[in-house]
Chain A
Amino acid sequence: MNESWYRSGSVVSRRRFCGSVAGFAVGVICPMRSIDAATTTSADSEFVIINGWVLTRADFAGEGVDN
């Protein structure tokens, strides 16, 4: 839990999880509303697990695609 990269940016991009499949809206789950120690179960240099979601550096502001 020494890594802090997942705290440094803004909250995980919502749009990253949104899109469409066959015309249906996708993105009803936007898992990250806040990041705190209680919801972070593990982290290393590449991945962090928050609320059970396995996320990467690219999911955080500054490195994501759709931020």
Chain B
Amino acid sequence: MLFDFNEAWPRVSEARYDVCVCGSGPAGITAARKLASYGKRVLLLEGGELTYSDRSQDCYKGKSIGKPFWWIETGRLRYFGGTSNHWAGLCAIFDPVSYETYDHHGLPGWPISYEQVVQNQAEAQEILDVPGKYLGRAEQSGFKSPWFGQFTYAKSPPTRFSMKYGDELRRSQQIDTFYNANVIDIKLVDDLSGVKSIRVQNYNGQKIDVSASQYVIAFGGLENPRILLNANSQIPEGIGNQTEMVGRCFMESLNVPVGRFLITDPDFWRQEGVLLVPTEDMVHQKDIGTGVMDFTPDATAQALRHAGRLGVLKDFLRDTGCYWPALRDLARKITDFTCPGDGIIATMIEQEPNLKSRVSLMDEVDAFGLRRIQFDWQFTERDFKTIRTLAIESAKEMARLNRARVQLAPEILDPHLEITRVAGHGHHMGTTRMSADPRHGVVDENCRVHGIRNLYVIGCSTFPKCGGRNPTLTVVLLALRLGHHLGRKS
């Protein structure tokens, strides 16, 4: 059933729930549905409305104090269906090498195996409307390299969870969904070993404590640590933060303009685009992270073609620059563009976990009295090594195989120059990282908060390594895994 918490808030205390799931994005809805399939009675809470509203989105405002980061407010959506309401639909699974034992800076990697993560892949693909058997990397003719393999995304339509699962949730007798239901506190039992209740507030100021046997937090990579840090009435440092790991190790998929390319073998480029990912040998031998180097000819020009009010001007400059080379450099000072047959290399590069890259709380509060996030995004030397190595080695392979010639940016070639143009892809990961040992993370192998017997966290925030790929498929895989885990519990 579906209820408006502004009106039906007293109703939430009428039922007994096995599991309370907080957050209705891909992780929350996936977990709720899986738990219902096991016969569990589920309470699903969404702080936003059924559609976008400024008053809900305002809760996502925060402040960036580290490397420039533009995604705090715009990279996520706070209403029914969560960020699935504007995601692009690109799906990927992390390479097995991402799950290998890893211990840079004393931070271990995944405590579970690749096989454990992908065991529900067919089910996850069905949820995301991804057809066929998706393997991630595909060997394709024409690019035989010991250092790189060709990679293909699986594509979701993209699935909007509110649209696909809205009717099911309205009809469900197992799941009670309340929107306009904002979680403002988590109350622990007296010995602090478990959650007693969570406090929920509507937009009219009415509050109520709701109880369940198990609790799942699925608010997203920035809000998951935020609620744990804000829930500090019984433990001053926040819940699950006894080792001060909540909010640390924030990771993004790094988006770095490394250079441009000119194709030299038109027949090879008849395919849609070429996405290169490093082989396991390369990751091991070079001691770097992984990532995707996207060589799609003319992609940026196509994107620019209809870009905003200046689209006509940009098209003119592009056409002039491409066919009148004397003016090309001048035109490029006004707007970046590519010509037919060349392209700008797009990247999605793995950032390594780093204690200094973190989410914490600032003093300013939102409409519900929760302190807003302060965000300090930081990189390591190894991050820059990964960026440079992937760029240079992929350029060499393109030349060696005579597929393209690459012109790399000066800061990529010269390690004495700082790489400043680093952006993200809206993937907020690592802030409640999974670890077998509480010293290195916030949740255990089953996404249970260390030291709290009935509190779980799901979503990108649990990733101890980010894999250099789009994360949604892995988010759904882990939500299913938790659903099976809790569903089997008596």
Contacts and interface: CB of A to CB of B under 8 A. Distances in A.
B407 A52 contact: yes
Interface string A1-33: 000000000000000110111101111110100
B396 interface: yes
A28 B407 contact: no
Contacts of B31: none
Contacts of A34: none
Interface residues of B, number: 30
A21 B399 contact: no
29 contacts: A16-B264, A19-B266, A21-B269, A21-B297, A21-B340, A26-B341, A26-B342, A27-B341, A28-B322, A28-B325, A28-B339, A29-B262, A29-B339, A29-B342, A31-B405, A31-B407, A41-B414, A46-B396, A46-B400, A47-B396, A49-B413, A52-B407, A52-B413, A54-B396, A54-B399, A54-B406, A55-B399, A56-B396, A58-B402
Interface of A: 16-17, 19-22, 24-29, 31, 41-42, 46-47, 49, 51-56, 58-59, 65
A42 B407 contact: no
A42 B413 contact: yes
Nearest to B325: A28
B340 A17 contact: no
B118 interface: no
Contacts of A47: 396, 399-400
Contacts of A49: 408, 413
Nearest to B401: A56
B155 interface: no
B312 interface: no
A8 B91 CA distance: 48
B410 A52 contact: yes
A28 B328 contact: yes
B399 A52 contact: no
Interface in B255-272: 259, 262-264, 266, 269
Contacts of B328: 28
B409 interface: yes
B392 interface: yes
B21 interface: no
Given A21-B269, A31-B407, A54 B395 contact: yes
A34 B264 CA distance: 20
A11 to B, nearest CB: 14
Contacts of A31: 405, 407
A22 B406 contact: no
Nearest to A56: B399
Given A28-B328, A42-B413, A47-B396, A52 B264 contact: no
Contacts of A54: 392, 395-396, 398-399, 405-408
Interface in B403-440: 405-410, 413-414
Given A26-B262, A59-B399, A53 B407 contact: yes
Q: Which 4 A-B pairs have the closest CB atoms?
A: A26-B341, A54-B395, A24-B340, A52-B407
A59 B399 CA distance: 9
A21 B341 contact: yes
Contacts of A59: 399, 405
Contacts of A65: 402
A19 B264 contact: yes
Given A17-B264, A26-B340, A49-B408, 12 more contacts: A16-B264, A19-B264, A20-B341, A21-B269, A22-B340, A27-B341, A29-B342, A31-B405, A52-B410, A54-B408, A56-B399, A58-B402
Contacts of B409: 52
Given A49-B408, A52-B407, A54-B408, A21 B392 contact: no
A20 B259 CA distance: 22
Interface in B341-360: 341-342
A21 B263 contact: yes
Nearest to A55: B399
Interface in B297-348: 297, 322-323, 325, 328, 339-342
B401 to A, nearest CB: 10
Contacts of A28: 322-323, 325, 328, 339, 342
Contacts of B340: 21-22, 24-26
Contacts of A55: 399, 405
A7 to B, nearest CB: 18
B405 A17 contact: yes
B390 to A, nearest CB: 13
A20 B339 CA distance: 12
Given A19-B341, A28-B322, A53 B402 contact: no
Nearest to A48: B399
Nearest to B270: A21
A54 B402 CA distance: 11
A49 B409 CA distance: 11
Given A19-B264, A20-B266, A49-B408, A56 B341 contact: no
